[in-house]
Amino acid sequence: MPLMTAEQYENSLRALNLEVYMFGERVASVVDDPIIRPSMNAVAKTYELAHDPKYADLMTARSHLTGNRINRFTHIHQSTEDLIKKSKMGRLLGRMTGCCFQRCVGMDSLNALSIITYNIDQKHGTEYNQRFKAYLEYVQDNDLVCDGAMTDPKGDRSLPPHQQPDPDHYLRVVEKKDDGIVVRGAKAHQTGAVNSHEIIVMPTIAMGKADRDYAVSFALPSDAEGIVYIMGRQSCDTRKLEDGTLDQGNVLFGGHEALVVFEDVFVPWERLFMCGENEFAGPLVEMFAAYHRQSYACKVGVGDVLIGAAQIAAEHNGVEKASHIKDKLIEMNHLNETLYCGCIACASEGRMKPSGTFSVNTLLANVHKQNVTRYPYEIARLAQDIAGGLMVTLPSEKDLTSSKTRKWVEKYFKTRPDLQTTDRMRILRLIENLTLGTAAVGYLTESMHGAGSPQAQRIMIGRKINMAEKKRAALTLCGIDE
């Protein structure tokens, strides 16, 4: 039964028994919690669109294992065309949800593991790849959401894992048993964690011999015993608890992050994909990071929403024909499409790895992500410029509906006779949402740090550049014989 419906997906989440905390209390029903639910809606959209013929080509693929039609989020890329479609799917969903739809991190984990497990086996004669393929088939057949869990809390960043004052600041093996291992630690910033069926754990940095116990990768059901979730809070999160929807800006979708704690959790052997092969920790991180940096294609779609909203705000203000407004919208589009070029180019320049999986061009994926740490901020700045100050001085929805204040709010925020004050307020709240509110978390700060902070990309760019070739060209042209 590959290809669940959105409804089946929601029901499948209800069947889980997650231990989730928010505001210091256990969450009774994750799916129904008003703060969490919009993030579930966003994931559900990845199921819904897979059934829409208009989007089937982007949203689904043919499994190379089973030949079944599967959701592209569970697919292993078989060509550069697959990689390009992944970028386009990301933009599509970003535009459809205006937020982080959370499912790419699992897809990127699966693809990275399909390559690295193969490579480990080649060197060590292990059977990780076989295990992985069995697991992959299970994920594809059941159309599951996987959380890809990489980032450890890291404690004192100037020390390696095994020298941390608290040895649990990186997730590690604390016991080996006959039937599996026991792990302890935590993974921070886990996007979409409580909307996932599975958690795929990977190490977060390159590791030396002494960090062997930390070089561990595995998959578990998200409600495995000992896994605890503590929700992160977002700017304006509690607006979702208020009556009405206008002040939320995005009335349908949102994102979430959580701290995931592993309190001595048992992992059976068949779900282990790396255990002690520390020299592969770095390559796994790099491979995952390259895929995941490509995934920031989604921000182009969120940019589409913000551009559309800014255009509408300009129309409400009656200034859409002013040359400086048109120019700012062109600049927003220019920056947004420059990002699009990045996620297309790193896909188009992808290559087949020994395992048969296609990977993106690492250099260009890093270049793309580096731009993602910059341009959304400038696009957001321009959106605020166009929106006008009212975006942050607007009264609440209650002021619009209250009998006491409605007359003034209606009257004084009216602009063109053919447009509604309510609509103007809605579009301004959406821009607020994307530049200061819950969605700004995803569009801005996570654009900065997700898939690695800017400096991580700069280091990779420095490493992947062929400087020798460039020097040779310069020497030849200025007449220096080497």
Catalytic residue numbers read 100, 104, 191, 257, 292, 296, 298, 446
- Binders in 307-326 for a copy of itself, by CB under 8 A: 307-309, 311-312, 317-319, 322-324, 326
The strand pair at 180-191 and 227-231 is best described as: unpaired
- Residue 138: CB minimum distance to a copy of itself, A: 29
Query: What distances in angstroms separate CA 174 from CA 169, 259, 266, one per listed residue?
Result: 13, 20, 10
Of the listed pieces 68-76, 149-157, 210-218, 269-277, which binds a copy of itself according to CB under 8 A? 149-157
Element (H, E) at 270: none
Convert residues 156-175 into a mask of x (bound to a copy of itself by CB under 8 A) and - (unbound).
Answer: xxx------xx-xx------
> How many chain residues touch a copy of itself (CB under 8 A)?
152
- Residue 213: CB minimum distance to a copy of itself, A: 18
Q: What's the CA gap between 316 and 126, in Å, rounded?
A: 63
Q: What's the CA gap between 426 and 432, in Å, rounded?
A: 10
- Would you count residue 28 as binding a copy of itself (CB under 8 A)? no
- Residue 246: CB minimum distance to a copy of itself, A: 7
Q: Which two tokens stand for residue 317?
A: 């203000």
Given the complex with a copy of itself, which of 98 and 203 has the nearer CB atom? 98
Q: What's the CA gap between 126 and 270, in Å, rounded?
A: 12
- Residue 193: CB minimum distance to a copy of itself, A: 10
Of the listed pieces 51-59, 120-128, 272-280, 423-431, which binds a copy of itself according to CB under 8 A? 423-431
- Binders in 43-82 for a copy of itself, by CB under 8 A: none
Strand arrangement, sheet containing 146-149: 146-149, 198-201, 216-221, 272-275
Q: What's the CA gap between 19 and 289, in Å, rounded?
A: 28
In this structure, are residues 97 and 253 in contact, taking their beta carbons and an 8 Å threshold? yes
Q: What's the CA gap between 171 and 329, in Å, rounded?
A: 45
**Residues ≥6 apart with Cβ < 8 Å to 129:** 114, 117, 118, 120, 121, 355
**Residues ≥6 apart with Cβ < 8 Å to 117:** 128, 129, 131, 132, 273, 274, 355
- Would you count residue 40 as binding a copy of itself (CB under 8 A)? no
- Residue 123: CB minimum distance to a copy of itself, A: 31
In this structure, are residues 302 and 90 in contact, taking their beta carbons and an 8 Å threshold? no
Convert residues 8-27 into a mask of x (bound to a copy of itself by CB under 8 A) and - (unbound).
Answer: -------------xxxxxx-
Q: What's the CA gap between 476 and 426, in Å, rounded?
A: 61
In this structure, are residues 285 and 203 in contact, taking their beta carbons and an 8 Å threshold? yes
Of the listed pieces 100-108, 114-122, 210-218, 471-479, which binds a copy of itself according to CB under 8 A? 471-479
Among 142, 189, 206, 353, binds a copy of itself (CB under 8 A): 189
Given the complex with a copy of itself, which of 8 and 245 has the nearer CB atom? 245
Among 41, 97, 195, 196, binds a copy of itself (CB under 8 A): 97
Nearest CA to 202 among 280, 130, 124, 125?
280
Given the complex with a copy of itself, which of 272 and 344 has the nearer CB atom? 344
Nearest CA to 187 among 148, 141, 242?
148
Phi, psi (degrees; rounded to nearest 5) at 4: -65, 155
- Residue 402: CB minimum distance to a copy of itself, A: 3
Task: Give me the half-sphere count of Cα atoms (radius 13 Å) on the Cβ side of residue 58.
Answer: 16
Given the complex with a copy of itself, which of 272 and 305 has the nearer CB atom? 305
Given the complex with a copy of itself, which of 76 and 427 has the nearer CB atom? 427
Check the annotation: does 80 bind a ligand.
no
Q: Which amino acid is at 401?
A: T
Among 231, 289, 290, 360, binds a copy of itself (CB under 8 A): 231
Given the complex with a copy of itself, which of 178 and 418 has the nearer CB atom? 418
- Binders in 112-141 for a copy of itself, by CB under 8 A: none
CB atoms within 10 A of CB 232: 16
Of the listed pieces 65-73, 116-124, 266-274, 334-342, which binds a copy of itself according to CB under 8 A? 334-342
Convert residues 343-372 into a mask of x (bound to a copy of itself by CB under 8 A) and - (unbound).
Answer: -xxxxxx-------------xx--xx-xx-
Given the complex with a copy of itself, which of 284 and 325 has the nearer CB atom? 325
Q: Which two tokens stand for residue 279?
A: 């020299």
Radius of gyration of the chain (CA): 24
- Would you count residue 427 as binding a copy of itself (CB under 8 A)? yes
Convert residues 238-277 into a mask of x (bound to a copy of itself by CB under 8 A) and - (unbound).
Answer: xx--x--xxx-xxxxx---xxx-x----------------
- Residue 445: CB minimum distance to a copy of itself, A: 4
Of the listed pieces 195-203, 216-224, 264-272, 444-452, which binds a copy of itself according to CB under 8 A? 444-452
Q: How far apart are the first and last CA of the chain?
A: 63
Convert residues 375-414 into a mask of x (bound to a copy of itself by CB under 8 A) and - (unbound).
Answer: --xx--x--xx--xxxxxxxxx-xx-xx-xx--xx-xxxx
Q: What's the CA gap between 443 and 384, in Å, rounded?
A: 14
CB atoms within 10 A of CB 25: 8
For the annotated binding site, the residues are 191
For the annotated binding site for FAD, the residues are 191
